[in-house]
Structure 1
Amino acid sequence: MLCKSLPSLILPLHFKRLLAISAPSSSDFQITAKNAEEQEDTSQKGSTFLQSARLTASLGISEDTHDEKTTSTSLFSDALRISAKMGFLPEGKQLHSHAIKSGINHIQSLQNQLLNLYVKCEAFVDAFNLFDEMPKRNVVSWNIMISGLLCCQLCKFSSENLPIFLFRKMLVGMVEPNYITFISVIGACIERNDIEIGKQVHCRTIKSGFYSNAVVGSALVDLYAKSGSVGDARRVFDKIRSRDLVLWNVMVSCYALNGLGREAFAVFELMRCEGMMGDGFTFSSLLNSCSMLGSHELGKQIHGVIIRLSLDLDVLVSSTLVDMYAKNGKIEDARKAFDVMIVRNVVSWTTIVVGYGQKGEGKEAMKLFRRMLLESLKPDELMLASLLSSCATLAALIESVQLHAHVIKDGFDPFVSIGNALISAYSKCGSISSASQCFGLISKPNLVSWTSMICAYAFHGLASKAIEFFENMLHEGVNPDRIAFVGVLSACSHAGLLDEGFHYFGSMRRDHHIIPDLEHYTCMVDLLGRAGHLDEAYNILISMPFKPGANVLGALISACRVHGNTELSEWAADILFKLEPDEPVNYMLMSNIYASVGSWSDVARVRKMMRNSCVNKIPGCSWIEICGKVHTFVSSDKSHTHAV
């Protein structure tokens, strides 16, 4: 029996957050004898199957309706249809009982409607029991079960692909599938990201004569698009002669999804040549392509077409417009597109808030967030993570605490991405203890979680804690990446831990097969330079497999300043001035070295070079948060209202 195998196929569930459903148990999949008796008693109490007031009202039947009319097959069919649509499972079971008593339960159309009722109400054990008892199953019966299992939340966590399992049973039973069958089965392959089974299903569609069907073709193009097989998707598309708008949209989306913006526009041009202008989904994919191409001008042209077609009234299209402008760095245009939106949903608000956050304008992002709350909309995970990142950039501790409260209130605290954002925000705001507490609340820290804490401890000069976390990460079986090694090497550099630094630098290639890049070499040069081993730092710099960058040269010059090696600093400065001729800080660094040894003529020469090469020197600034407001000031600043 199919129903007997169903519970064993469900794996234990581990959710990041509490869901509205509970883990499956035997009581979820079996009707107890007590419940069966109660149902039988209920069915015997009334003289008709229409005992439910809500079902009677939905059918528009009065209480004095004659029994013969009430028990007619057509009315029975209508009652099942309404019960399935409205989710009236108890009434549906009463209808099933009455069908058995009336002897009409053998009618195939009614059996299929009962099957549809159980599937729509997610009573899959009852559905499988009925399905097993059906003496004859037609293609409609199989389609109901296959499509129903595709929507079953619990079946998504099964180790077996149940829709494919049923499809195979269907073929063994010599039932010929139709286009609805193939759409559901291909959808199951997409859900499981099973491209191999998908290709087998594709072969079966050709054998069954559906190779030129636009609906089946759309599903196949979507399958290949989401698995990255763009060539296979295009071959399916080209073989279909009669193409509908859905198929065109899926093909445009295929290219946009796989980062092929120019090909997406080529398909759009071909689409226009065949007399189709597209809809909201078409232009949303094209706008995403503009974002990938980094083409602001092309996006503006698409914007003009959208306005002419009045598609800017669609909230999906408008939100994508905002996203396109924001990703192209045109935050002002993004704001204009956002302000003219008639209807805004959470996606719209998230898009503009994330846009401001990525642009580094955290204050404006927070203002928009407060406006959204006034409109009684709740933020999503992406918005909160972006806002926390903005707070980290601003070092705004009070706002970080307030956002943390929203995270807990809205139930986002179990999300790992939110926990990682909180760690980064608290550490950059100077509260390393709060960052550590947030890490402890993450049930299953991932690589980003561990790396965030390692870098946080390194940033705060707590080298021993950074190394401890790095070792704990290895003990937990989490493999470090290049960023994790940057964190631990930086910690060793700031603490002057030479032996540990060389150990981890060698471990990268030896134990984890990670080739060190410029950032790792910069940490090693800085480590040796701080310890006074300038010759060794120079040897590492010239032995790098790539040309030195500004950071590694700057680290060497800083070390030369501390240890008084003017000759080596001049060698590094000559390269640095050619690499970044318009960066004032490089000239100031060398000027300070000459000043420290009293070489004032060289100081004047370097400062003259700076004046000729650089427009203006941007002064360094500091900031402090007082009563929720960030105050910025520079050295000897008397312009602030509270300056003394």
Structure 2
Amino acid sequence: MLSLATPSSPPLTQGGSTASSVALLRGAAARRDAKLTSAVHAALLKSGALHPAQPLSAWNSLLHAYLQCGLLSRALRLLDETPRRDAATYATLISAHCRRGAPMDALRAFLDMLEWGAGGAADQAEDDDTVRPNEFTAAAVLQACGLARDGRLGRMVHGYLVAGGFCGDAFVVGSLVNMYAKVGDAASARRLVLGLPCRDVVSWTAIISGCVLNGMLEEALEVFVMMLEDGVLPNIVTMLSVIQACSLMGASELFRPVHALVVLLELEDDASVVNSLIMMYAKNGFVEEAMRLFNGAYLKSGNLCSNEDVLAAILYGCTISGYQKNGEGIHAHLIKMGAFPSIGIENSLMGMYARFEQVDAVHLVFSGMEAKDIVSWNTIISCLAKSDHVNEAMELFSVLHAGGGGLAPDFVTILSIVQACSNAGLLHQGQMLHGCIMKSGPISTV
């Protein structure tokens, strides 16, 4: 006797309705419960709910559940067994391909839908089972074009949607704006937005985010100004894109005005916005401003290791701007907490101390690392070589070259040690190094 009982759901009886099965499949999809999905599938087959004469709701819910569980092969097999399909079937499949980062598979599914519809027009005329796109399949295929960064294909789909009368739908227009923004066609996206009778923050933000994604930073800020002039207030997503654009441009004259706008919009308590502001300030050398935000968000709360990107940005800012004491303060907090979040942060500390010619501090961090990568070795070897500790640098290189670090020297390692030998006039050591390289084979083009 088939049992569908699971710890997270009630048992499904043989007389259970299709509606209850669909509800169970929704729950299975939300929890990505493959076992429950397979069990409901078996019950649907037994009850006859998947008979060709039955509505497609059970088929589509089952397809969606398998796709949500990551069982693509089973979902495609189910699709092959499905005698009838509708727009919802294909919207589900196209969206799933987009979610897994396979836009070309999504586009192939869209073409399959069109072919299925064309083939079905003659064969299925009696019950009008021809598959026609709806606003959801349109949005899904536009998402695929955006993911593929294929503007030519996106424009072709746009033309198809215009011919099909879809472009009066605000949902489809929003998807078109998003697609054009992602493929870097800000002009087309802007025209679509300006043609909307009611422009909202979502449509404007789609253009701004797309411009930033494609490196069109000045255009992103121009669209942001147009948005404000249109009387539309930005949201968190908008501000994250604007902050990123300002940071990448190094537009220091805009840092404080953008920060002030964040405060005016009462977004200063949002962690993602604060993190973006910290990184904007730190990466561009505005360490004092970055540290003020960092102190409030992390140091005072003792939550120092919660965001490695922010911590790395602060250390980078301290390094390029000469704020040694601030960097040392962060290091002291990490030691006090007894926690270093990653090799990358330890490498950042080593790089900072190397920049300030603090050889002992570089040694301290290096010797305390539980795991090291080639950047760790290169940093200390380079620091020693530049600080006239050439013999010690050579010793560490020998350890690394012999496999003591579980790694192999790379181009940067060789360059550092060769430069050190050259500067110190150590011809003999340089010849020994050359011999080591020749014996082990070329490491890289030096």
The reply to whether TM is greater than 0.5 is yes
The one-letter amino acid paired with 1:287 is L
Contiguous gaps of at least 5 residues in structure 1: 1-163, 580-644
C-alpha separation in 2, matches of 1:457 and 1:257: 39
TM-aligned CA deviation for residue 245 of structure 1? 0.8
Specify the alignment match of 2:154 in structure 1: 299
Specify the alignment match of 1:336 in structure 2: 188
Specify the alignment match of 2:385 in structure 1: 529
1:97-108 map, 5 Å:
none
Q: Does 1:417 align with 2:256?
A: no
**Alignment CA distance shift 1:271-1:469 (3 Å):** same
Specify the alignment match of 1:95 in structure 2: none
TM-aligned CA deviation for residue 194 of structure 1? 4.7
Pick from 325, 344, 350: which aligns with 1:489? Answer: 350
Specify the alignment match of 1:308 in structure 2: 163
2:278 and 2:314 in contact (8 A); partners too: yes
Specify the alignment match of 1:356 in structure 2: 211
Q: Does 1:239 align with 2:81?
A: yes
Q: Does 1:255 align with 2:107?
A: no
C-alpha separation in 2, matches of 1:387 and 1:165: 47
1:326 and 1:334 in contact (8 A); partners too: yes
Specify the alignment match of 1:375 in structure 2: 230
TM-aligned CA deviation for residue 203 of structure 1? 4.6
**Alignment CA distance shift 1:384-1:301 (3 Å):** same
Pick from 316, 327, 331: which aligns with 1:455? Answer: 316
The one-letter amino acid paired with 1:408 is V
**Alignment CA distance shift 1:178-1:459 (3 Å):** farther
C-alpha separation in 1, matches of 2:356 and 2:225: 42
C-alpha separation in 1, matches of 2:180 and 2:418: 41
1:89-113 deviation per Cα after TM superposition (whole angstroms, max 9, x unaligned): xxxxxxxxxxxxxxxxxxxxxxxxx
Contiguous gaps of at least 5 residues in structure 2: 1-5, 118-130
**Alignment CA distance shift 1:300-1:476 (3 Å):** farther
1:631-642 map, 5 Å:
none
1:489 and 1:501 in contact (8 A); partners too: yes
**Alignment CA distance shift 1:577-1:222 (3 Å):** same
C-alpha separation in 2, matches of 1:507 and 1:209: 66
C-alpha separation in 1, matches of 2:324 and 2:36: 51
The one-letter amino acid paired with 1:350 is T
TM-aligned CA deviation for residue 423 of structure 1? 0.4
TM-aligned CA deviation for residue 237 of structure 1? 2.9
1:217-270 deviation per Cα after TM superposition (whole angstroms, max 9, x unaligned): 333333333443322332333333222210111011111211222322232222
C-alpha separation in 2, matches of 1:180 and 1:439: 52
Pick from 436, 444, 447: which aligns with 2:291? Answer: 436
User: SS of 1:368's equivalent?
Assistant: helix
Q: Please say which structure displays the higher CA radius of gyration.
A: 1
1:202 and 1:220 in contact (8 A); partners too: yes
**Alignment CA distance shift 1:269-1:426 (3 Å):** same
1:193 and 1:227 in contact (8 A); partners too: yes
User: SS of 1:242's equivalent?
Assistant: coil
Pick from 229, 241, 248: which aligns with 1:386? Answer: 241
**Alignment CA distance shift 1:222-1:470 (3 Å):** farther
C-alpha separation in 1, matches of 2:59 and 2:363: 57
C-alpha separation in 1, matches of 2:158 and 2:376: 44
Pick from 183, 196, 216: which aligns with 2:22? Answer: 183
1:308-364 deviation per Cα after TM superposition (whole angstroms, max 9, x unaligned): 334344444444444445544xx3x23223223322432222222123334444333
**Alignment CA distance shift 1:214-1:470 (3 Å):** farther
Q: Does 1:516 align with 2:373?
A: yes
**Alignment CA distance shift 1:198-1:371 (3 Å):** same
TM-score calculated relative to the size of structure 2 = 0.73
Aligned residue pairs, count: 402
Q: Does 1:271 align with 2:113?
A: yes
1:496 and 1:527 in contact (8 A); partners too: yes
1:230 and 1:255 in contact (8 A); partners too: no
1:128-277 map, 5 Å:
167-168=9-10, 171=12, 176-211=15-50, 214-275=56-117, 276-277=131-132
Q: Does 1:345 align with 2:184?
A: no
TM-aligned CA deviation for residue 461 of structure 1? 3.2
The one-letter amino acid paired with 2:379 is C
TM-aligned CA deviation for residue 453 of structure 1? 2.7
User: SS of 1:379's equivalent?
Assistant: coil
C-alpha separation in 2, matches of 1:565 and 1:393: 43
**Alignment CA distance shift 1:355-1:267 (3 Å):** closer
Specify the alignment match of 1:621 in structure 2: none
The one-letter amino acid paired with 2:388 is G
Larger relative contact order (C-alpha < 8 A, sep ≥ 6)? 2
Pick from 125, 138, 145: which aligns with 1:283? Answer: 138
C-alpha separation in 1, matches of 2:44 and 2:413: 59
TM-aligned CA deviation for residue 401 of structure 1? 2.0
**Alignment CA distance shift 1:374-1:248 (3 Å):** same
Q: Does 1:366 align with 2:208?
A: no
Percent of aligned positions that are identical? 22
TM-aligned CA deviation for residue 399 of structure 1? 1.9
TM-aligned CA deviation for residue 188 of structure 1? 3.2
**Alignment CA distance shift 1:335-1:434 (3 Å):** same
1:322 and 1:335 in contact (8 A); partners too: no
